[in-house]
Chains A and B, each alone.
Chain A
Amino acid sequence: MAELATVPVPPPHAGEEDHAHHGPQGWLKYLWSTDHKVIAMQYMFTGMFMAIVGGFMAYVFRMQLAFPGFEVPGFGMVSPGEYNALVTNHGTIMIFWVAMPVLLAAFGNYLIPLMIGADDMVFPKINRLSFQVFFVSTVVILASLFVEGGGFAGAWTAYPPLSASAEYNLTDLGSTLWLVGVGLEFVAFLLGGINFITTLMNSRAPGMRAFDVPVVVWMIVIASILFMLSVGPLLAGAIMLLFDQTIGTGFFDPAAGGDPILWQHLFWFFGHPEVYVVLLPAMGFVAEIMTTFARKKLFAYKTVIFTVVATGVLSFFVWAHHQFIAGIDPRMANIFTITTLLISVPIAELCFVYIATLYGGSITLNTPMLWALAFIAEFLIGGVTGIFLGAAGATIYFHDTYFVLAHFHYTFFPIAIIGTFAAFTYWFPKMFGRMMDDRLGKIHFWGTIIPFNFIFIPLFVLGMGGQHRRIYNYEHFTELAGPGFQNMRVLATVALLVMLLFQLVFFYNCFKSWRSGKRASSNPWRANSLEWTTESPPPHGNWRPDKMPVVYRGPYEYSVPDRDDDHWPQNAPN
Chain B
Amino acid sequence: MNETSFFDGLIGVASSYAGEIDFLILVVLVSVGVWFIAAEVVFFWLILKFRAKPGEKAQYIDGKDKRHKRWVTRPHFAVLAFDIAIIVISFQVWHHVKIDLPDNPDSELRIIGQQWAWTFQHPGADNVLDTDDDIFTVDDLHVEVGKTYLFRLEATDVLHSFSVPVWRIKQDAIPGRSITGWFQPTEAGAFEVQCAEICGFGHGVMRAEVHVETTGEHTAWMVTNAPAAVANLEVLNNG
**What 0/1 pattern do residues 148 to 174 of B give for CB contact below 8 A with A?**
000000000111010101101111111
B58 and A296: CB pair below 8 A?
yes
Task: Known contacts A356-B72, A396-B168; decide if A387 and B28 are in contact (CB<8 Å).
Answer: yes
Indicate whether A373 reaches chain B with its CB closer than 8 angstroms. yes
The residue from B21, B46, B115, B176 contacting A355, defined by CB atoms under 8 A apart: B46
Indicate whether B10 reaches chain A with its CB closer than 8 angstroms. yes
What distance in Å separates the Cβ of B171 from its nearest Cβ neighbour in chain A? 6
Cα separation A551 to B123 with both chains bound (whole Å): 78
Chain A residues, Cβ within 8 Å of B29: 388
User: Contact size class for B?
Assistant: 35 or more
Q: How many A-B residue pairs have CB under 8 A?
A: 289
B24 and A393: CB pair below 8 A?
yes
Query: Could you say which of A114-122, A270-278, A326-334 contacts chain B?
Result: A326-334
Chain B residues, Cβ within 8 Å of A480: 192
**What 0/1 pattern do residues 181 to 210 of B give for CB contact below 8 A with A?**
000000000011011111111111101000
What distance in Å separates the Cβ of B77 from its nearest Cβ neighbour in chain A? 9
Chain A residues, Cβ within 8 Å of B1: none
Chain A residues, Cβ within 8 Å of B39: 351-352, 355, 380
Query: Could you say which of B47-55, B102-110, B221-229 contacts chain A?
Result: B47-55
Task: Known contacts A80-B201, A295-B57, A327-B172; decide if A159 and B159 are in contact (CB<8 Å).
Answer: yes
Cα separation A478 to B210 with both chains bound (whole Å): 13
> From B24, which residue of chain A is reached at the shortest CB distance?
A393
Query: Could you say which of B61-69, B125-133, B211-219, B230-238 contacts chain A?
Result: B61-69
> From B54, which residue of chain A is reached at the shortest CB distance?
A362
Indicate whether A573 reaches chain B with its CB closer than 8 angstroms. no
Chain B residues, Cβ within 8 Å of A348: 35, 75-76, 79
B76 and A349: CB pair below 8 A?
yes
Query: Could you say which of A448-456, A489-497, A558-566 contacts chain B?
Result: A558-566
B51 and A393: CB pair below 8 A?
no
Chain B residues, Cβ within 8 Å of A358: 43, 46-47, 50
Chain A residues 326-364 with CB under 8 Å of chain B are: 326-327, 330-331, 333-334, 337-338, 341-342, 344-345, 348-349, 351-353, 355-356, 358-364
**What 0/1 pattern do residues 24 to 51 of B give for CB contact below 8 A with A?**
1100110111011001101110110011
A359 and B204: CB pair below 8 A?
no
Chain B residues, Cβ within 8 Å of A337: 87, 90-91, 94
B28 and A479: CB pair below 8 A?
no
Indicate whether A294 reaches chain B with its CB closer than 8 angstroms. yes
Query: Could you say which of A101-109, A213-221, A297-305 contacts chain B?
Result: A297-305
Cα separation A473 to B201 with both chains bound (whole Å): 12
B192 and A479: CB pair below 8 A?
yes
B165 and A162: CB pair below 8 A?
no
B157 and A168: CB pair below 8 A?
yes
Cα separation A336 to B174 with both chains bound (whole Å): 21
* Residue of A341, A365, A385 most packed against chain B (CB within 10 A): A341
What distance in Å separates the Cβ of A338 from its nearest Cβ neighbour in chain B? 6
The residue from A155, A296, A345 contacting B61, defined by CB atoms under 8 A apart: A296
**What 0/1 pattern do residues 66 to 98 of A give for CB contact below 8 A with B?**
000000000000001101100000000000000
**What 0/1 pattern do residues 78 to 102 of B give for CB contact below 8 A with A?**
0110010011011111100111000
Indicate whether A392 reaches chain B with its CB closer than 8 angstroms. yes
B62 and A397: CB pair below 8 A?
no
> From B167, which residue of chain A is reached at the shortest CB distance?
A397
A296 and B59: CB pair below 8 A?
yes
Chain A residues 363-395 with CB under 8 Å of chain B are: 363-365, 373, 376-377, 380-381, 384-385, 387-388, 391-394
Indicate whether A33 reaches chain B with its CB closer than 8 angstroms. no
Query: Could you say which of A5-13, A22-30, A461-469, A535-543 contacts chain B?
Result: A461-469
A468 and B50: CB pair below 8 A?
no
B196 and A468: CB pair below 8 A?
yes
Indicate whether A173 reaches chain B with its CB closer than 8 angstroms. no
Task: Known contacts A380-B40, A384-B36, A393-B24; decide if A399 and B205 are in contact (CB<8 Å).
Answer: no
B11 and A561: CB pair below 8 A?
no
Task: Known contacts A337-B94, A464-B7, A466-B166; decide if A344 and B57 are in contact (CB<8 Å).
Answer: no
Chain B residues, Cβ within 8 Å of A419: none
Indicate whether A500 reaches chain B with its CB closer than 8 angstroms. no
B200 and A170: CB pair below 8 A?
yes
A84 and B203: CB pair below 8 A?
yes
Task: Known contacts A300-B64, A362-B53, A393-B94; decide if A327 and B174 are in contact (CB<8 Å).
Answer: yes
Task: Known contacts A154-B198, A476-B207; decide if A338 and B87 are in contact (CB<8 Å).
Answer: yes
What distance in Å separates the Cβ of B200 from its nearest Cβ neighbour in chain A? 6
What distance in Å separates the Cβ of A105 from its nearest Cβ neighbour in chain B? 29
Task: Known contacts A400-B161, A468-B196, A476-B205; decide if A352 and B50 are in contact (CB<8 Å).
Answer: no
Query: Could you say which of A40-48, A128-136, A254-262, A311-319 contacts chain B?
Result: A254-262
B80 and A301: CB pair below 8 A?
no
Indicate whether A472 reaches chain B with its CB closer than 8 angstroms. yes
What distance in Å separates the Cβ of A558 from its nearest Cβ neighbour in chain B? 6
Task: Known contacts A344-B83, A470-B203, A560-B60; decide if A399 and B198 are in contact (CB<8 Å).
Answer: no
A391 and B24: CB pair below 8 A?
yes
A153 and B159: CB pair below 8 A?
no
B161 and A345: CB pair below 8 A?
no
B50 and A361: CB pair below 8 A?
yes
Chain A residues, Cβ within 8 Å of B86: 341, 387, 391
Indicate whether B117 reaches chain A with its CB closer than 8 angstroms. no
Indicate whether A309 reaches chain B with its CB closer than 8 angstroms. no
Indicate whether A549 reaches chain B with its CB closer than 8 angstroms. no
> From B26, which residue of chain A is reached at the shortest CB distance?
A394
- Sample of 15 further A-B pairs with CB below 8 A, known A301-B63, A341-B86, A394-B93: A255-B175, A294-B58, A300-B64, A333-B94, A342-B80, A356-B72, A359-B61, A363-B50, A380-B39, A391-B28, A397-B25, A397-B168, A399-B161, A470-B203, A477-B194
Q: Can you identify 17 A-B contacts, CB atoms within 8 angstroms?
A: A83-B204, A84-B198, A154-B200, A162-B199, A259-B176, A260-B176, A297-B61, A300-B69, A344-B83, A359-B46, A384-B33, A385-B32, A394-B90, A400-B196, A470-B203, A559-B58, A559-B59
